[in-house]
Amino acid sequence: MKGANNANFLQIDHRVENISQPKGTIILPSSKAWENFPWVKRLFKNKPKEGYFIWVKEQGELPLATCLTISSPKTVQDLTNILVVEKNINAKANVLCNSIRNNLCGTHKAKGKLILKQGASLEYSHIHKWGEKDLVNPDYEFFLGKDTKLVYNYQNLLPPKNLDLITSIYNKENASAQINFVINGINSNINLKERIFLEGDGAQGIMKMRLVGKKNSQIKAESSVFALAAGRGHLDCQGLLVDEKSTISLSPEIVCKNRLAQITHEASLGKISEEELNYLRMRGLKESEAIDLIVSGFLQA
């Protein structure tokens, strides 16, 4: 995302600083959408306090962009984010959630619902950059209608002190979801709970996770694919430990409730190869530079 000032929706702390309306798209604070559209009330039990509402009604040309920022000490955001893509529309969204400084001790809670109607597609890039004392708790649900396609890329390269991330994907008939998570743990306590539900015949779901633990990080990942219909799913979970004080726990789960479904998984944990490290050091890199290069390559694999 090139600059928060270009965002279609920009919220700093609790203030909405900017909203721009691309052609064919309605963007509002989620509290206003609750008041304006009766069907939004069915999505949540209570009126949202803050956050964004995006309704893509017509095909657009440019990616949507949102930015949710903490800029003041001890700010507690309690966000409700809604994104709806209408039938047969192809959409892209770039989402940035961050703190502008490293020592703000902020809290970022986000409850999100993203709905793709029949034949729609969405490429959703979600980037988190936090301070080392922040607390972050996103809980997102994706509802994929018939013949829809989702590509969800989540990156947390500057992690908070505590990250509790929950993601649930519900795939109807012939819906396809490709989920990619990149987590770089640095002095962090990270808990991940990611689930794909194959609810319709022909539904597909692939989840790929790359986790790095360093500087006394504790990472726990529970990843699941539930086949409730004749669909196909796959889990690919890999963790890399950079130091002995960090831990990574992977708990992949595949549950099949339809005899025609096909679901598989692979999981691995390891440390940095001494052979790779020595090779790079022989090429003139310092040990720290070599480690950073290896980690970067692992996260992009």
Q: Which amino acid is at 95?
A: V
In sequence order, what are the residues at sequence separation of 6 or more whose Cβ sits closer than 8 angstroms to the Cβ of residue 274?
A: none
Buried b (16+ CB within 10 A) or exposed e, 134-153: bbbbbebbbbbbbbbbbbbb
In sequence order, what are the residues at sequence separation of 6 or more whose Cβ sits closer than 8 angstroms to the Cβ of residue 4?
A: 10, 67, 69, 96
**274-282 vs 287-300: helix axis angle to the nearest 10?**
120
Number of separate domains in the chain: 1
At 299 the three-state DSSP class reads: helix
At 300 the three-state DSSP class reads: helix
In sequence order, what are the residues at sequence separation of 6 or more whose Cβ sits closer than 8 angstroms to the Cβ of residue 284?
A: none
Whole-number Å distance between alpha carbons of 69 and 181: 21
Burial of 206 (0-12, 13-18, 19+ CB in 10 A): middle
HSE-CB of 213 using CA atoms within 13 angstroms: 24
In sequence order, what are the residues at sequence separation of 6 or more whose Cβ sits closer than 8 angstroms to the Cβ of residue 78?
A: 49, 50, 109
| Short-list 143, 144, 216, 221, CA closest to 182 | 221
Residue 294 belongs to some domain of the structure? no
Whole-number Å distance between alpha carbons of 169 and 139: 11
The DSSP output letter for 5 is G
Residue 135 belongs to some domain of the structure? yes
Residue 292 belongs to some domain of the structure? no
In sequence order, what are the residues at sequence separation of 6 or more whose Cβ sits closer than 8 angstroms to the Cβ of residue 37?
A: none
268: alpha, beta or left, given left = phi > 0 and alpha = psi -120 to 50? beta
Structural domain containing residue 85 = 4-273
Instruction: Show pLDDT as tens, one digit a residue, over the chain (301 residues).
Output: 444 667 999 999 999 999 999 999 999 999 999 999 999 999 888 999 999 999 999 998 889 999 999 999 999 999 999 999 999 999 999 999 999 999 999 999 999 999 999 999 999 999 999 999 999 999 999 999 999 999 999 999 899 999 999 999 999 999 999 999 999 999 999 999 999 999 999 999 999 999 999 889 999 999 999 999 999 999 999 999 988 889 999 999 999 999 999 999 998 888 777 777 776 777 777 777 777 777 777 777 6
User: Which helix (DSSP H) or strand (DSSP E) does residue 38 occupy?
Assistant: helix 38-41
Residue 286 belongs to some domain of the structure? no
Q: Please work out, in degrees rounded to the nearest 5, the angle formed at the alpha carbon of residue 34 by the alpha carbons of 33 and 40.
A: 95
Residue 249 belongs to some domain of the structure? yes
Residue 293 belongs to some domain of the structure? no
Task: Give how far the C-alpha of residue 135 lies from the chain's centroid of Cα atoms, to the nearest Å.
Answer: 16
Residue 300 belongs to some domain of the structure? no
User: Which helix (DSSP H) or strand (DSSP E) does residue 109 occupy?
Assistant: strand 107-116
Full-model pTM:
0.91
- Partners of 158 in beta bridges: 129
Residue 119 belongs to some domain of the structure? yes
